[in-house]
């Protein structure tokens, strides 16, 4: 049993299975609807139902108020259809996005590596190859996990059956705790992807700044390797990476070598809490401090890609805006967990909410 939905103003029509959410069906048909938390908490995927009826599922009353429900609004990540429907969504044209349908892949853990004391490198061999744009993420799950968790792809596209994830342990977190404590080479997992709109706007010729914190290095690694090694991109590319201590700095040698090999690539690691024994001679402070110092506080005529924990992203947006770089040139991937998914997915400093 399924129902037909039409998405306006695109005029796109597709089938939505019984119990399938509107968002899931759209993404599986290669149609991007804005979304963030995926669990009815943040409200990013709010759409207007023009015709037909929906069931609201787990939409939180804060993300979707009673008045909005009465006005025919729903959250696409939770809403299921009760009949054929017409829905209006706010969809930005994105010329650099390749419409790759969301798919499910079976996979097996091929390798596990302690990249830092808190970040695990997880390599998965998929049964079938996955197509994705560098910077995108996947939803990872395994038998017994109540709902999947989002992790960005750390490898560049190309090795279609092999994917790499960098997974930071969240204190008290069920899924990341499992990855760090119990996951073993050979275990079966399910990967759904690709997801997200965090990818390089390659059609724009401006120099690129990547700013990452913690396991937020995953997406920039994929994007930078794709630009330098696959595309042979010659634009200036700068990676500012913030970690707490020397032991939390990972892929360090790889990025140092990449900067030696490519004259257009700069790598600026910064430690916020360097210990005396690590004899650190590089930048100190947070990633946004290192970015300000490196660019002398002037970010004009760049494209910036920010990836990592929400507080780091907000500090970086503030620093970039003070340095005259604004919303249309800043792209973010916030590593939200269940604890912060109910908070604003977009920066309050951005106008296009
Ligand atoms: C697009 C995207 C990409 C991401 N990519 C990466 C990546 O590449 N690498 C990476 O390390 N992380 C990434 N993340 C973050 C990652 O998805 C989370 O860290 C992960 O989902 C945490 O799962 P968990 O089960 O371990 O913890 P959760 O179940 O999310 O719990 C985390 C903590 O919050 C508490 N908590 C749970 N629910 C609530 C609540 N409602 N209110 C208050 N507290 C609560 C829990 O007790 C626990 O302490 C990404 C996130 C997004 C959205």
% of the chain with per-residue pLDDT over 90: 88
| Residue 341 clears pLDDT 60, i.e. is over it | no
- Could you tell me the distance, in angstroms and rounded to a whole number, from the CA of residue 167 to the centre of ligand 1? 10
Virtual torsion, Cα 276, 278, 281, 285, nearest 10 deg: -70
Is residue 23 packed enough to be buried (19+ CB in 10 Å), middle (13-18) or exposed (0-12)? buried
Q: Is 75 in the pocket of ligand 1 (CB under 6 A)?
A: no
Q: Is 21 in the pocket of ligand 1 (CB under 6 A)?
A: no
- The bridge status of strand 208-213 relative to strand 303-308 is parallel
Confidence at 42, pLDDT banded by 50, 70, 90: confident
pLDDT tens per residue across span 168-212: 999 999 999 999 999 999 999 999 999 999 999 999 999 999 999
Comparing 35 with 122, which gets the higher pLDDT? 122
- Lowest mean pLDDT: which of 127-131, 316-320, 341-345? 341-345
pLDDT of residue 350: 80
Confidence at 349, pLDDT banded by 50, 70, 90: confident
pLDDT of residue 337: 73
- Could you tell me the distance, in angstroms and rounded to a whole number, from the CA of residue 336 to the centre of ligand 1? 6
Q: What are the helix (H) ranges across 233-345?
A: 252-261, 287-294, 310-322
Per the prediction, the chain carries an average pLDDT of: 94
Q: Is the full-model pTM beyond 0.85?
A: yes
Residues in a beta bridge with 17: 2
Q: What is the mean pLDDT of residues 19-30?
A: 96
pLDDT of residue 351: 74
- Could you tell me the distance, in angstroms and rounded to a whole number, from the CA of residue 295 to the centre of ligand 1? 32
- Could you tell me the distance, in angstroms and rounded to a whole number, from the CA of residue 342 to the centre of ligand 1? 12
pLDDT of residue 159: 80
Q: Is 53 in the pocket of ligand 1 (CB under 6 A)?
A: no
Q: Locate the ligand 1 atom nearest the alpha carbon of residue 38 and give its number.
A: 53
Q: Is 35 in the pocket of ligand 1 (CB under 6 A)?
A: no
pLDDT of residue 339: 67
pLDDT of residue 41: 87
SS3 label, residue 303: strand
> Atom 52 of ligand 1 has which residue's CA nearest to it?
335
- Could you tell me the distance, in angstroms and rounded to a whole number, from the CA of residue 254 to the centre of ligand 1? 27
pLDDT tens per residue across span 285-300: 999 999 999 999 999 9
The region, left, alpha or beta by phi > 0 then psi within -120 to 50, assigned to residue 296 is left
- Could you tell me the distance, in angstroms and rounded to a whole number, from the CA of residue 338 to the centre of ligand 1? 5
Comparing 224 with 37, which gets the higher pLDDT? 224
- Lowest mean pLDDT: which of 32-41, 83-92, 194-203, 221-230? 32-41
Q: How many CA atoms lie within 13 A of 33 on its CB side?
A: 30
pLDDT tens per residue across span 105-130: 999 999 999 999 999 999 999 999 99
> Atom 36 of ligand 1 has which residue's CA nearest to it?
339
Q: What is the mean pLDDT of residues 60-73?
A: 95
- Could you tell me the distance, in angstroms and rounded to a whole number, from the CA of residue 169 to the centre of ligand 1? 9
| Residue 342 clears pLDDT 70, i.e. is over it | no
Beta strands in 142-227 (DSSP E): 149-152, 162-168, 188-195, 208-213
Is residue 187 packed enough to be buried (19+ CB in 10 Å), middle (13-18) or exposed (0-12)? middle
Q: Is 18 in the pocket of ligand 1 (CB under 6 A)?
A: no
Residues in a beta bridge with 331: 305
Confidence at 345, pLDDT banded by 50, 70, 90: low
| Residue 38 clears pLDDT 90, i.e. is over it | no
């Amino acid at each position: 049993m399924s129902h037909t939905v039409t998405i306006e103003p695109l005029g796109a029509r597709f089938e939505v299975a019984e119990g399938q959410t509107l968002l899931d069906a759209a993404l599986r048909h290669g149609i991007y609807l804005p979304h963030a938390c995926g669990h009815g908490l943040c409200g990013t995927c709010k759409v207007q139902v023009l015709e037909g009826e929906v069931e609201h599922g787990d939409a939180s009353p804060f993300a979707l108020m009673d008045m909005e429900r009465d006005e025919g609004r729903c959250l696409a990540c939770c809403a299921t259809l009760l009949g054929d429907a017409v829905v209006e969504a706010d969809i930005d044209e994105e010329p650099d996005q390749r419409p790759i349908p969301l798919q499910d892949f079976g996979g097996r853990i091929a390798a596990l590596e302690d990249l830092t004391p808190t970040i695990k490198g997880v390599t998965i061999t998929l049964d079938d190859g996955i197509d994705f744009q560098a910077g995108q993420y996947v939803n990872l799950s395994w038998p017994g996990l109540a709902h999947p968790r989002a992790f960005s792809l750390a490898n560049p596209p190309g090795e279609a059956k092999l994917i790499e994830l960098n997974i930071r342990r969240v204190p008290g977190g069920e899924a990341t705790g499992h990855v760090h404590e119990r996951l073993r080479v050979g275990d079966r997992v399910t990967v759904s992807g690709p997801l997200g709109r965090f990818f390089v706007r390659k059609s724009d010729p401006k120099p690129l700044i990547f700013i990452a914190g913690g396991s937020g290095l995953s997406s920039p690694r994929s994007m930078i390797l794709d630009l330098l090694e696959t595309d042979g991109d010659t634009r200036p590319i700068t990676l500012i990476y913030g970690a707490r201590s020397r032991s939390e700095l990972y892929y360090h040698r790889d990025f140092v070598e990449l900067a030696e090999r490519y004259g257009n690539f700069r790598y600026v690691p910064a430690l916020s809490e360097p210990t005396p024994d690590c004899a650190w001679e590089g930048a100190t402070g947070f990633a946004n401090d290192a970015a300000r110092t490196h660019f002398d506080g002037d970010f004009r005529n760049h494209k910036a890609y920010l990836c990592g924990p929400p507080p780091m992203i907000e500090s970086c947006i503030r620093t970039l805006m003070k340095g005259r770089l604004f919303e249309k040139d800043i792209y973010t991937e916030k590593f939200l967990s269940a604890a912060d998914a109910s908070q604003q997915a977009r920066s309050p400093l951005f106008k296009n909410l």
